[in-house]
Amino acid sequence: MLSKNRIKYINSLKIKKYRQAHQAFIVEGAKSVLELMDSDFEIEFVLATEEFQQKYSTILSRHNAAIETATIVGLETVGSFQTNDSCLAVAKTKENAFLSLNEAEYVLILDDVRDPGNLGTIIRVADWYGITKIVCSEDTTDFYNPKVIAASKGSFTRIKIYYTDLATYLADQAHNQNVIGAFLGGESLYEFPFSANGGFIVMGNESNGIGAGVEPFITHKVTIPRVGEAESLNVGIATAVMLDNMRRQITAKPN
């Protein structure tokens, strides 16, 4: 049975100020926890059902993470999932380390993306398309929010993230670089030539788009052409469309 102190500690990590104070976060579900165990994150402990421990005994034996047995009811009591029949882990957060642009690399920049589900989806999409670095504005939702971690489906273990003032960052890093921003009135994405030399791809707030402080650094404004009658696209979906066009172009073989 989980102790009251253990329950209190895990529940506190659902709140940002306590995640920051303890420098720890929650990971739930078999897939995400197994990916966590194969990553370079430091794990405090794993709560797991006996069935999960038996099913993955070979994998668990390769790791030195502290495993504690918990019931399904116990996991659902402390976690944020409505149903969790496998496991929950608590891991240490990483330092907010500076991320620079390497040669022939695209870095994703997020300006004031507030919805945790959207950020989690973007992390998963970035991982799919081979983007390993995301630079976020300081008011973008917390990477370690349980909803972000859950929506990323394990991709959080492979993405590096850095929170900073975007105007200051771009002023320092964007010299002679392509800075491609998603705007409603930009050039058609389908006609825009992505450079194989890399650069920055900027996605903005769900309601207001890219902010006035970041817009002056945009070298190329592009838009996803609307064919139907929908008013807008979810920022996670828009990011997927942007990255898909980028990746198809720069990986295409010349005729």
Query: Which residues, 6+ apart, have CB-to-CB distance to 141 below 8 Å?
Result: 113, 114, 115, 116, 119, 148
CA distance 121 to 38: 21
Domains of the chain: 4-92 (3.30.1330.30), 105-251 (3.40.1280.10)
> What pLDDT does residue 132 have?
98
CA distance 152 to 26: 13
Please tell me the pTM assigned to this model: 0.94
CA distance 29 to 80: 10
CA distance 187 to 5: 56
pLDDT < 70 positions in the chain: 253-255
List pLDDT tens digits, range 225-240.
999 998 888 999 999 9
Q: Strand ranges (DSSP E) for the chain?
A: 24-28, 43-48, 67-69, 87-92, 105-110, 133-137, 160-164, 178-188, 198-203, 220-223
- Quick one: DSSP state of residue 205? B
> What pLDDT does residue 251 have?
85
Beta carbons of 111 and 205 less than 8 angstroms apart: yes
